[in-house]
Copies of this chain bind each other. A is one copy, B any other.
């Protein structure tokens, strides 16, 4: 048996469920995955998962289980009506208790990413920051005074659903003008479509089947000097930067950390975000806040974040016991 103390980080995604054992310093000592198959009965899913996990429990000292999942309720350890899974309501804790009495905790993937960043990434040592995950949508995790903000019901930190344009773009949430309809991989694709309609700027993106235009292709076009693609990044950064200048008024964080697909575009997205954020910020906040890329390896963020959640819980429990 390996006597490194580890925790288990599990990320339940639409396609795969990945998991790994993570040490307190953020080293991943074992990693594996199973297909999520959410059309399965949920009992069967946990049965398949624990077949794999029991093997790890035999070989390693595991202190707890942290889980990231869509529509996760931290307070109840439940998954409620997740958009990309076929399950309605999953009492995760009850399922886990059929197999193990280890401490467990659950939150959504953006919150987990924020904790991963605080323990192992770009926010090490920070007590006040905002993690923004720029994927298909826009997720966020808010850390205040060293702790994740869950709010009264466990669902705080939905900056992607701050309305930034009255009567703006239709959002999957049923409302209009949410930040994530502009600042995300799908958001920049919509911006390109609007620019194709509203301008006569030449662009190779005009010649493509729009359903096949990805954020990566827009990035590549921008790097190659395509004016319309560059304009799309500029607009995306402007809207995100202006929104973050308002976030400062709420939370005055030390840093904003950008993670995920669009953040990989580097200066193309960071430059307009920084300049519009600074320009629109209340005076007392100017020149104080950092905008940083994530310090986590993208492929391991889900496992590291989920593991960070339970490392944090275990630390808090220890602190309580010392009291």
Tell me, yes or no, whether A99 is within 8 Å of chain B by CB. Answer: no
Q: Which of A43-51, A159-167, A298-306 contacts its partner?
A: A159-167
Could you say which residues of chain B place their CB within 8 Å of the CB of A166? 242
A145 at the interface (CB under 8 A from B): yes
What residues of B have a CB within 8 angstroms of the CB of A319 in the complex? 323
Does A284 belong to the interface (CB within 8 Å)? yes
Q: Are A147 and B149 in contact (CB under 8 A)?
A: no
Complex: chain B residue closest to A176, CB-CB: B280
Choice from B152, B158, B250 contacting A156 with Cβ under 8 Å:
B250
Contacting residue for A284 out of B150, B155, B250, CB 8 A: B155
The range of chain A's interface size is 35 or more
Query: Is the pair B283, A173 in contact by a Cβ cutoff of 8 Å?
Result: yes
Shortest Cβ distance from A73 into B: residue: B284
CB-based contact A155/B285 at 8 Å: yes
**What separation, in Å, do the CA atoms of A289 and B152 have in the docked complex?**
9
> Is A110 in the interface zone, CB < 8 Å from B?
no
Q: Which of A29-37, A228-236, A251-259 faces chain B?
A: A251-259
A288 contacts chain B at the CB level, 8 A cutoff = yes
A240-273 interface mask toward B, CB cutoff 8 Å, 1 = contact, 0 = none?
0010011101111110000000000000000000
Question: For residue A154, which residues in chain B have a CB less than 8 angstroms away from its CB?
Answer: 252
**Contact of A78 with B by CB under 8 A:** no
For window 180-222 of chain A, which residues contact chain B by CB distance below 8 Å? none
Tell whether, in the assembled complex, residue A280 and residue B163 are in contact, meaning their CB atoms are under 8 Å apart: yes
| Residues in B neighbouring A152, C-beta threshold 8 A | 127-128, 252-254, 288-289
Instruction: Determine chain A's interface SS by DSSP, over half rule.
Output: loop
Residues of B within 8 A of A86 (CB): none
Known contacts: A128-B151, A323-B322. The answer to whether A250 contacts B159 by CB under 8 A is yes
A155 to B284, CA, bound (A): 8
Q: Which residues of B contact A322 (CB under 8 A)?
A: 323
A97 proximal to B (CB < 8 A): no
Given the complex, which residues of B lie within 8 Å of A163, measured CB to CB? 242, 245-246, 280
Report the minimal beta-carbon distance from A80 to chain B, rounded to whole angstroms: 8
Q: How far is the CA of A173 from the CA of B249 in the complex (A)?
A: 13
Residue of B nearest to A288 (CB): B153
Q: Do B162 and A249 touch (CB < 8 A)?
A: yes
- CB of B285 within 8 A of CB of A162, answer no
- The reply to whether B252 and A151 form a contact with Cβ atoms under 8 Å apart is yes
5 contacts between A and B (CB under 8 A): A151-B253, A153-B252, A157-B252, A158-B284, A161-B249
Q: Apart from A151-B253, A157-B252, what 19 extra A-B contacts exist at CB < 8 Å? A: A142-B250, A142-B251, A144-B144, A144-B145, A149-B250, A150-B252, A151-B251, A151-B252, A152-B253, A152-B254, A152-B289, A155-B252, A158-B249, A158-B282, A158-B284, A175-B280, A247-B250, A250-B251, A322-B323
| In the complex, the 5 A-B pairs of residues with the closest C-beta atoms, listed nearest first | A151-B252, A156-B252, A152-B254, A158-B249, A128-B152
